[in-house]
Structures are given as C-alpha cells and as structure tokens.
C-alpha cells in the first residue's frame, strides 16, 4: 500500500488531475490484454521529462516500485503493477516533435499512438516500419519496450531495426541519451537496441528517434493454397530467399481454413489444406513486373491455386478471410491461450507437424496462423471452459509446445515478450549464466529494482 504522504508529495509535484489515488479511477490502469488485473494504489501522469525525472528520483529515494504504461494493449501483463504499486501513464507525452524526411528520421514522445504517427508520415509519403495489429491503440513507447511488430516486419523489420536513438530516465532518476541521428554509427555500446524490447525494466523512455522509410505507391496481393504443409513451407522458403521479398506473408493452417470456410461460405476449395496470403509493394511503374517474378517463384513449386488482387475491393476480399480468423476462434472455443512462438522458416513444416501431434496427444483444439515469413506462428489453444484453460493438461501441452519450438532452434516469443505471463518459461530458453548477466545489467540501470519489478528476466 502506498503511504498517503507519498501521494501528497506527487499531488504537490504534478499539475492538477495528474494523480489518481481513488481505486475507481485507478481501476482502468490495472490491466492489459493478458486479462490480468491488479488495481494500482496510485496512477501518475506526466507531460514532460522533468516531471518523470522528479517522480523516479522520489521513487528511488523511497524504494517505491513503479510501472510504465503506454495504452495497456500488451499481451503479457507487462504494464500490470504486480504489487498494487504506482503506474506511470505516458499517454500525455504524445507529441510528434520532428519529421525530417531529408535525414529519414522522426523524433517522438513515447505516448504517440502508432497510427497517429503513420498518418502524419503518410502526408510526407513516408512510414515507420513496425505495424502491430494494435497500431490504432498502442503507443510507440509500448511498441519499442516490447519490440512489437506486425506483418510488415518481414521486409521492413521490428522496432530494433527502425530506431536510431533514445532518451530515457534510469531507476535512479538520471536522464540518458543513446544512439545517433545518422544511418551509420558505432561509437560506444549499443544501448538503444539493448533498451528496445526490455519491457520497461531498464528505464522510462521519454523520447525516441525513429528511422522512417519512403512509401511505395503500389501493392499487389496474392493468395496461394496448397495440398500439404511441405509444399507450403517450401514455397515460403523460396519466396523469402529471393531478392523481391514480399512485405507481408501470412500463413493459415488447415484448422483455420475449415473455420474460415464456415464463416466466409467456402472461400477456399475442398482441396485447399494450407494457405499463404502475401503482399508485394513497389513503384507503380514496375509492380506488374515484380508480380510476374513472384508468380514465377510460386509456380516453380507445387501449389493448389493462385489468386491475384490488384484493386481495393479484391484486396479487401482476400484479407477479409484472414481477418475473420481471430473473431471466428470464439466459435470453437470460448477461452484461448494465444502463443506467439517463432522458428527458423526452414523448420516450419516440422513445427506444424509437431503441433498436430501435440494437439492429438492432449485432445486440445489448436488453430495456427501468423507471420510465416518470420517463422512467427500464433498457436491458439482453444477451450470450452476456463477450468480447462487453467488445467494441468493445458500447462503440460504448453510445455510440450515450448520444448518443440526450442528443439527446432526457435524462440518462445516472437513479438509479445515475456512480461509476467511467460516469466516461468524464460529459463527454458536462456541459461542461468546468461540470465544472471542480464540481471546484473538491470542492476546498473535500476539498482533498487523499482522499475517494473517481477517482469521479464
């Protein structure tokens, strides 16, 4: 419980309405998309870095744990305050400070919503690579802290590939600046990329210098179906290892196809067991040529059908099948565990086969789809009741899935991070010695362990 004297201090320090301490007001700042909910004792807002510096310095002096929060869309409890402590909401730090197209960079505060930045950049014919599906709600700060990315990552990368520098405040209340404003730079250790993906445990980000990219003016969407997983994965490998890499490449497994066909009235034929939906981008003057090249690559392997969409209506129709999947999952299971594992793409077929075996072994329904160009598959375990979801059987099933993924040289999280939800599994992937090194690094940034304690490592 946060002592009332601390709340009084914050009320003096910050403008009116920048401190919530009534549980009704704090309620909405205690959960994220993991469905965990711990009501914080106090929620603080800040609209400049000096306020944040003063907040953290005070927390450091008084040993008060504090959790940064963007918009609480994370999937792993990263912004949930495990110990009813203080939540620091960055939502008022929402200024786009600079868009500099000559140097291909943009400087933003952490609370800027991803989509708002993309809208401003689009006016200049630019974009920022990372496009998580939550981009209409999630913040750049949350995207960087979780290294979150979406379908475009296969060509345009994750935040780690699209960040030049950062400003952050450490667990002692000191302000640090990292990185460069140039597209090259090798001076000192790369703290920018260490911070990116660190889930709020190393510091509070107050500013980010992002690498931005010119927009292409034409796209083509192609849907391919296959009779078996070997053909599908061979084609994915071929597509990803030639120069004209698609900028989106989504995979849909046989269970997902059955589900889509129920909702979208036989979108796929009976022979279609697996599908790949890809998009290429390029200049209007040579997109036709790029499309022909991609189709040649696809036809060099076995496939079942190919559909090409070039106008808005056709493109929307192809994507609507993929987009119908998440809501459709509720049709076959009210409760789900959604994992975001990734494997090297050469192991995709083995992964899918292994998942099928695990699903049969535990008689747990599984639907798999996702960003196959990165080998990043969303594995959805579906249950009729919450009791089944939380049962020993489902835990064992999850354990087997992680073992399978790690045996295939993969990772237990391709994009959602560890937070609280996956913390018990991190030792499966990272050995003790390396984990201890990481913990010692955290101590340098946050000696009293006040920043988002009990999360990630």
Ligand X SMILES: Cc1cc2nc3c(=O)[nH]c(=O)nc-3n(C[C@H](O)[C@H](O)[C@H](O)COP(=O)(O)OP(=O)(O)OC[C@H]3O[C@@H](n4cnc5c(N)ncnc54)[C@H](O)[C@@H]3O)c2cc1C
Q: How far is CA 109 from CA 115, 139, 223, 371, 410, in A?
A: 14, 9, 38, 29, 33
Q: Of 201 and 345, which has the nearer Cβ to ligand X?
A: 201
* Tokens, residue 373: 């160009």
Q: How far is CA 164 from CA 142, 159, 186, in A?
A: 17, 10, 12
Considering the complex, what minimum distance in angstroms separates the CB of residue 97 from ligand X? 15
Q: Which of 66, 105, 117, 205: binder of ligand X (CB under 6 A)? A: 205
Q: Which of 133, 183, 300, 385: binder of ligand X (CB under 6 A)? A: 133
Q: What is the dihedral of CA 275, 280, 286, 288, to 10 degrees?
A: 20
Q: Which of 164, 204, 272, 377: binder of ligand X (CB under 6 A)? A: 204
Query: Which DSSP helix (H) or strand (E) runs through 86?
Result: strand 86-89
Q: Which of 110, 354, 410, 453: binder of ligand X (CB under 6 A)? A: 110
3-state secondary structure of 153: helix
Considering the complex, what minimum distance in angstroms separates the CB of residue 151 from ligand X? 8
The closest alpha carbon to 378, from 230, 248, 253, belongs to 253
User: Rounded to whole angstroms, how far apart are CA atoms 61 and 22?
Assistant: 24
Q: Is 145 in the site for ligand X (CB under 6 A)?
A: yes
Q: Would you tell me how many other CB atoms lie within 10 Å of the CB of residue 440?
A: 9
Q: Is 246 in the site for ligand X (CB under 6 A)?
A: no
Q: Which of 30, 40, 72, 333: binder of ligand X (CB under 6 A)? A: 72
Q: Is 442 in the site for ligand X (CB under 6 A)?
A: no
Q: Is 199 in the site for ligand X (CB under 6 A)?
A: yes
* 40 alpha carbon, distance to own chain's centre: 24
22-28: list long-range contacts, CB under 8 Å, 24+ apart. Answer: 26/87
Q: Which of 143, 254, 368, 374: binder of ligand X (CB under 6 A)? A: 143
Q: Of 252 and 349, which has the nearer Cβ to ligand X?
A: 252
Q: Which of 65, 132, 165, 197: binder of ligand X (CB under 6 A)? A: 132
Q: Which of 74, 333, 375, 453: binder of ligand X (CB under 6 A)? A: 74
User: Rounded to whole angstroms, how far apart are CA atoms 256 and 80?
Assistant: 32
Considering the complex, what minimum distance in angstroms separates the CB of residue 284 from ligand X? 28
User: Rounded to whole angstroms, how far apart are CA atoms 187 and 201?
Assistant: 24
Q: Is 33 in the site for ligand X (CB under 6 A)?
A: yes
Q: Is 411 in the site for ligand X (CB under 6 A)?
A: no
Applying CB under 6 A, the span of 42-50, 100-108, 147-155, 180-188 interacting with ligand X comes to: 147-155
Q: Is 333 in the site for ligand X (CB under 6 A)?
A: no
Q: Is 79 in the site for ligand X (CB under 6 A)?
A: yes
User: Rounded to whole angstroms, how far apart are CA atoms 160 and 175?
Assistant: 21
Q: Is 34 in the site for ligand X (CB under 6 A)?
A: no
* 431 alpha carbon, distance to own chain's centre: 24
Applying CB under 6 A, the span of 75-83, 174-182, 274-282, 290-298 interacting with ligand X comes to: 75-83
Residues that bind ligand X in the complex, under the rule CB under 6 A: 32-33, 67-75, 78-79, 90, 110, 132-134, 138-139, 141-143, 145-146, 148-150, 199-200, 204-205, 415-416, 452
């Amino acid at each position: 419980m946060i002592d009332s004297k601390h709340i009084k201090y914050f009320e003096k320090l910050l403008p009116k309405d920048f401190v919530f301490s009534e549980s009704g007001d704090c309620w909405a700042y205690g959960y994220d998309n993991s469905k965990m909910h711990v009501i914080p004792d106090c929620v603080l807002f800040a609209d400049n870095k000096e306020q944040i510096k003063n907040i953290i310095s005070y927390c450091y002096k008084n040993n008060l744990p504090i959790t940064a929060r963007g918009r609480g869309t994370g999937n792993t409890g990263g912004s949930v305050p495990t110990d009813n402590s203080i939540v620091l909401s960055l939502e008022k730090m929402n200024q786009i400070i600079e868009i500099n197209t000559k140097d291909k960079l943009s400087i933003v505060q952490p609370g800027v919503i991803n989509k708002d930045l993309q809208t401003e950049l689009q006016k200049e014919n630019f974009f920022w690579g990372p496009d998580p599906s939550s981009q209409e709600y999630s913040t750049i700060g949350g995207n960087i802290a979780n290294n979150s990315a979406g379908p475009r990552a296969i060509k345009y990368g994750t935040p780690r590939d699209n960040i030049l520098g950062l400003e952050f405040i450490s667990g002692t209340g000191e302000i640090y600046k990292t990185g460069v404003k140039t597209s090259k730079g090798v001076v000192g250790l790369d703290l920018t990329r260490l911070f990116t993906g660190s889930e709020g445990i190393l510091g509070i980000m107050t500013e980010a210098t992002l690498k931005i990219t010119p927009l292409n003016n034409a796209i083509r969407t192609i849907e391919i179906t296959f009779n078996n997983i070997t053909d599908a994965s061979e084609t994915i490998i071929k597509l990803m290892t030639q120069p004209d890499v698609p900028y989106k490449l989504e995979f849909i497994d046989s269970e997902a196809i059955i589900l889509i066909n129920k909702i979208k009235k036989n979108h796929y034929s009976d022979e279609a067991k697996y599908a790949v939906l890809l998009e290429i981008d390029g200049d209007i003057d040579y997109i036709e040529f790029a499309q022909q090249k991609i189709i040649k690559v696809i036809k060099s392997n076995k496939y079942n059908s190919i559909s090409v969409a070039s106008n808005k209506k056709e493109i929307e129709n192809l994507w609507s099948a993929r987009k119908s999947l998440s809501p459709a999952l509720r049709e076959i299971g009210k409760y789900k565990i959604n994992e975001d594992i990734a494997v090297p793409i050469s192991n995709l077929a083995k992964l899918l086969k292994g998942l099928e075996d695990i699903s049969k072994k535990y008689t747990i329904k599984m639907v798999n789809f996702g960003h196959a160009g990165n080998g990043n598959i969303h594995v959805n375990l579906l249950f009729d009741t919450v009791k089944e979801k939380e049962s020993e059987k489902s835990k064992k099933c999850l354990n087997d899935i992680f073992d399978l993924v790690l045996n295939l040289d993969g990772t237990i999280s391709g994009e959602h991070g560890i937070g609280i939800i996956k913390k018990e599994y991190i030792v499966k992937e990272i050995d003790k010695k390396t984990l201890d090194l990481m913990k010692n690094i955290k101590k340098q940034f946050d000696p009293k362990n006040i920043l988002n304690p009990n999360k990630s490592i």
